[in-house]
Amino acid sequence: MVTLKLSQLLFGVCSLGMAIPLLPSAQAADRPNIIVILCDDLGYGDLACYGHPHIQTPHLDGLASSGIRFTNCYSAAPVCSPSRVGLMTGRSPNLAGVYDWIPPANRPKPDLRDLVHLRSSEVTLPRLLKQAGYATCMSGKWHCNSKFNSPDQPQPDDAGFDHWFGTQNNAAPSHLDPKNYVRNGQPAGPLQGSSCQLATTEVIRWLTDHQQAAPEQPFFVYLAFHEPHEPVASPPELVEQYLAVSRNEDEAQYFANVANVDRAVGRLLQKLDEAQLRDNTLIVFSSDNGPETLNRYRTANRSYGRATPLRGMKLWTTDAGFRVAGILSWPARVSAGQVSEHVVSSLDLLPTCCELAGQTPPEDLQLDGMSLVRFLDGEATQRGRPLVWCYFNALNEQRVAMRTGRWKMLAKLDAGAFPKLQNVHAGNRDQVLSANLTDFELYDVSQDVAEQNNLFATASEAADLRQTLEDRYEELIRSSHVWQR
């Protein structure tokens, strides 16, 4: 297989952040343990602390109360695989050549999606932390390659995980009693229980072993839940609790699915408390993208996620596609009880965690995320690079979007005539390179969170913002990876 570049960004947001008060730094160790918890298709409004009227999430609400709840937290993409690759690399997933969700490579595909994977040449967060002396563990949904558990493509251990327990994509046949988990290259066989609880149990066991073997060694855990992605299946006793507030059993199944995630997080927090690890463990909770649309495909009958008050859903470039729940807790350093409008992204995790771990990414690595350490230290920070998304398979016509400061800009490609694409390869690279941004829209999302009032024709900033988006889009598209067989 040969690969090439288009010609040889995703997160940066020009935004002034509110200063976050911290506890005295002397109370925090130099290098925290780090846990990233990622949900799959969780809606912006699916947690009680984000306004859901029925779903009870006391553990996640408590996690938010113990630190910061962000109201402007963005994922790297509006769909799973590129979002996860962006989190792993701190860079736009387009640069890594991951443009859409990755199907299993059962056979060659005309658009070469069977080749798509997180390449070994990509610098990843777990690999950098491992080099810095951290023990690393991944549990749950991987979805960063098409040939899972195969020597033909890099696997989670190649990305830097000492221990991994996961699946290629969804838990199968559902969240209950999955049969497709693999542990360190060996199929785990049929399992009993729900996927989020099984993934959490794996982390708890790993942490127990790690504490016994190397209690002074800091650790990094990536806990990637399958929930609440379809096929949704929840514990019957939890479903029963939500029937009275649901329109039907399918909605009760969804509510219970999110509540089950909350239970799993509660178990992990209890383990950290018992092991006296909680204070100096930085925990980040978020989602890979926004909620699935009900009945968009045949088996999406339990997709009752809420994006309220945002416009669109998963696969959209309006904010509901990638503005997600974002919670950060670190009791030894970050003061509790905060709600912040500061714009943050999953792409910020790599530079932030590396700075906290004392690890410097390669000098020639152009990151689209930025370190939040100064922000966490209470300094007002300004981000020089805007957040830019380019999703060629968006359900809405605007395939390109940008967030900078209070502004959100959208644009079509070739007046909407550009075809939907799930991959960029040698056969369509010229078409991608020649596409032009058109039909710009501009929203002040600090006042218009639902992106209803298009200000492009009236805002004095519109011309400069258009030029910024055109420049950043050109930079991104000409540096993006192209697949070739």
> Tokens in use for 193?
């229980």
**Residues 414, 419, 423, CA angle at the centre, nearest 5°?**
120
pLDDT of 384 reads 77
Distance CA 321, CA 77 (A): 8
Q: Give the end-to-end CA distance of the chain in Å, rounded to a whole number.
A: 5
Q: Find out whether 128 and 160 touch, Cβ atoms under 8 Å.
A: yes
pLDDT of 383 reads 81
pLDDT of 377 reads 84
pLDDT of 379 reads 85
Distance CA 315, CA 43 (A): 12
Residue 11 counted as domain residue? no
* Extended strands (E) in 207-264: 219-224
pLDDT of 29 reads 52
Indicate which CATH number applies to the domain containing 395. 3.30.1120
Distance CA 49, CA 294 (A): 23
Distance of alpha carbon 92 from the chain centroid: 12
How many structural domains compose the chain?
2
Residue 171 counted as domain residue? yes
Residue 8 counted as domain residue? no
Residue at which a domain ends, from 376, 397, 422 = 376
In a shared domain, residues 273 and 412? no
Q: What is the dihedral of CA 284, 193, 189, 214, to 10 degrees?
A: 40
pLDDT of 350 reads 98
Residue at which a domain ends, from 356, 376, 396 = 376
Distance of alpha carbon 467 from the chain centroid: 28
Q: Which residue has the tokens 């630190």?
A: 67
Distance CA 435, CA 444 (A): 26
Distance of alpha carbon 268 from the chain centroid: 20
* Extended strands (E) in 163-214: 163-167, 182-183, 186-187
pLDDT of 382 reads 81
Indicate which CATH number applies to the domain containing 82. 3.40.720.10
**Structural domain boundaries enclosing 288:** 19-376
Q: What's 25's DSSP letter?
A: G
Residue 78 counted as domain residue? yes
Q: In terms of Cα–Cα distance, which of 164, 278, 180 is closest to 224?
A: 164
Q: Find out whether 22 and 376 touch, Cβ atoms under 8 Å.
A: yes
In a shared domain, residues 196 and 303? yes
Q: Looking at this protein, which amino acid is placed at residue 14?
A: C
Distance CA 96, CA 119 (A): 8
In a shared domain, residues 48 and 179? yes
Residue 111 counted as domain residue? yes
pLDDT of 2 reads 37
Digitized pLDDT (tens) for each residue of the chain, 485 residues in all: 434 444 332 233 333 333 334 443 333 458 999 999 999 999 999 999 999 999 999 999 999 999 999 999 999 999 999 999 999 999 999 999 999 999 999 999 999 999 999 999 999 999 999 999 999 999 999 999 999 999 999 999 999 999 999 999 999 999 999 999 999 999 999 999 999 999 999 999 999 999 999 999 999 999 999 999 999 999 999 999 999 999 999 999 999 999 999 999 999 999 999 999 999 999 999 999 999 999 999 999 999 999 999 999 999 999 999 999 999 999 999 999 999 999 999 999 999 999 999 999 999 999 999 999 999 988 888 887 899 999 999 999 999 999 999 999 999 999 999 999 999 999 999 999 999 999 999 999 999 999 999 999 999 999 999 999 999 999 999 999 999 99
pLDDT of 334 reads 95
pLDDT of 5 reads 40
Residue 130 counted as domain residue? yes
Q: In terms of Cα–Cα distance, which of 392, 401, 419 is closest to 472?
A: 401
Q: How far is CA 332 from CA 210, 278, 336, 373, 422, in A?
A: 21, 8, 10, 14, 43
Whole-model pTM: value is 0.94
Distance CA 36, CA 164 (A): 14
Residue 12 counted as domain residue? no
In a shared domain, residues 116 and 236? yes
In a shared domain, residues 371 and 403? no
In a shared domain, residues 370 and 397? no
Q: Find out whether 166 and 84 touch, Cβ atoms under 8 Å.
A: no
Element (H, E) at 285: strand 281-287
pLDDT of 3 reads 41
Distance CA 350, CA 124 (A): 8
